Copies of this chain bind each other. A is one copy, B any other.
Amino acid sequence: MMRTRPLKVALLGCGVVGSEVARIMTTHADDLAARVGAPVELAGIAVRRPDRVRAGVPAELVTTDATALVKRGDIDVVVEVIGGIEPARTLITTAFEHGASVVSANKALLAQGGAELHAAAETHGTDLYYEAAVAGAIPLIRPLRESLAGDKVNRVLGIVNGTTNFILDKMDTSGAGYSEALDEATALGYAEADPTADVEGFDAAAKAAILAGIAFHTRVRLDDVHREGMTEVTSADFASAKQMGCTIKLLAICERAEDGKSVTARVHPAMIPLSHPLASVREAYNAVFVEAEAAGQLMFYGPGAGGSPTASAVLGDLVAVCRNKVAETTGPGESAYTRLPVSPMGEVVTRYHISLDVADKPGVLAQVATVFAEHGVSIDTVRQQGKDGEASLVVVTHRAADAALQATVGALRKLDTVRGVASIMRVEGE
């Protein structure tokens, strides 16, 4: 039974993603209507620069007054693909106040102000969906929020930034250094002119905050996420990784502590074994590995960015919130009932791969081993290599608290026989 009054959709933003959303809404209108149970009509498109609107976007729908569009009174759903904190936050809040549900692709806003937006949606009896905010087209928010709703997620390990995965994959496969690989990523359009948000891990950290909150049914804010970028990863690190049967990925890692009483969220480069399913994620692809108590190990893989993939995720959410409007209901809202605290990085249990330049003389290994022992860090393997009077010492630790590992490295730097710490990298996914 199809209801005939169409659902009216306001589109905020008409860049790479927005114009693709507009295109699919127009060309696939019949499919969307059949799947929703009512026609879905694009009722207005707010843009900053109407002279830049792409070909194919219906010009008569374009306005520069986003606020007026959202307040118009006949809008059922607002699709927000502007990005950034303001004016997106105010527009979304205004949409809720006017009874509209919201579909957003805005990871930064969700990571910083998700709790408040969820509360506003609930107050006004509307939906807030944001599948597109994490890992583009890959269904991830919905599986975590709904498919695994009867399970207990213990760990999420994800490659959630395509730019940095492209750069690291290039370094791994071609032996290029960081800047050379970044240049190639920029030339191919995988990296922006200012790549800071990607290479320093800000983008991945926002996604980690969102994923951790959903996975553990608690609130994790951007500030709770420990963040290290990947600009200092070198070809030498990749060579070390290869010797260990590993590669290097920039990972977003969300974990429940072993005692179940806290969670952690962090972003940093890490070595992972080549046998791990994440190791073979190439180019700008994203993938998220989830460990749940009953389900075991799951992985979700696909394009993490781009106009069409992101539009796919936006439109899936659009169909869902439109169905909810037709059924006069709302979908699952925020689930933060566990109120688990987020522990600092020092309490994260991990392993270190440490490469030291040392004096090539007897007793060095004993000195180094003593430092590890004094900090309660147990050594898994040591490899010594001599080269022209100098030597390198590669130590891989057993699992220990990050604070203890950091303190160990600090003490190693002070040893006379240690000339330098060539690289430190965490080892994950084992």
- Taking Cβ atoms with an 8 Å cutoff, the residues of A that contact B are 20, 24, 28, 31-32, 34-35, 131, 137-139, 142-143, 146-152, 217, 277, 280, 292-303, 306, 308-309, 311-320, 323, 327-330, 332, 335, 337-338
A316 to B327 CA separation, bound complex (whole angstroms): 21
Q: Quick one: copies of this chain in the complex?
A: 2
Known contacts A31-B152, A296-B309, A297-B303; is A316 also within 8 Å of B280 by CB?
no
A231 to B415 CA separation, bound complex (whole angstroms): 64
Which chain B residues lie closer than 8 Å to A338 at the CB level? 34
A33 to B122 CA separation, bound complex (whole angstroms): 19
A148 nearest in chain B by CB position = B316
Which chain B residues lie closer than 8 Å to A309 at the CB level? 294-296
A303 nearest in chain B by CB position = B296
Shortest distance in angstroms between A20's beta carbon and chain B's nearest beta carbon? 7
Which chain B residues lie closer than 8 Å to A300 at the CB level? 139, 298-301
A147 touches B142 (CB 8 A): yes
Which chain B residues lie closer than 8 Å to A315 at the CB level? 149-151, 294
A83 to B265 CA separation, bound complex (whole angstroms): 41
Shortest distance in angstroms between A209's beta carbon and chain B's nearest beta carbon? 21
Which of B148, B301, B302 is close to A312, meaning CB atoms less than 8 Å apart?
B148
Give me the 7 closest cross-chain CB pairs, A-B, nearest first: A150-B315, A139-B147, A137-B295, A295-B312, A139-B143, A294-B312, A149-B319
A151 touches B312 (CB 8 A): yes
Sample (27) of A-B pairs whose CB atoms are under 8 Å apart: A24-B150, A24-B151, A24-B294, A31-B152, A35-B150, A137-B296, A139-B143, A139-B300, A142-B146, A143-B147, A148-B312, A149-B315, A150-B314, A150-B318, A151-B315, A292-B312, A293-B308, A295-B303, A295-B313, A296-B306, A296-B312, A297-B302, A297-B303, A298-B302, A323-B332, A327-B330, A328-B329
Which chain B residues lie closer than 8 Å to A337 at the CB level? 34-35
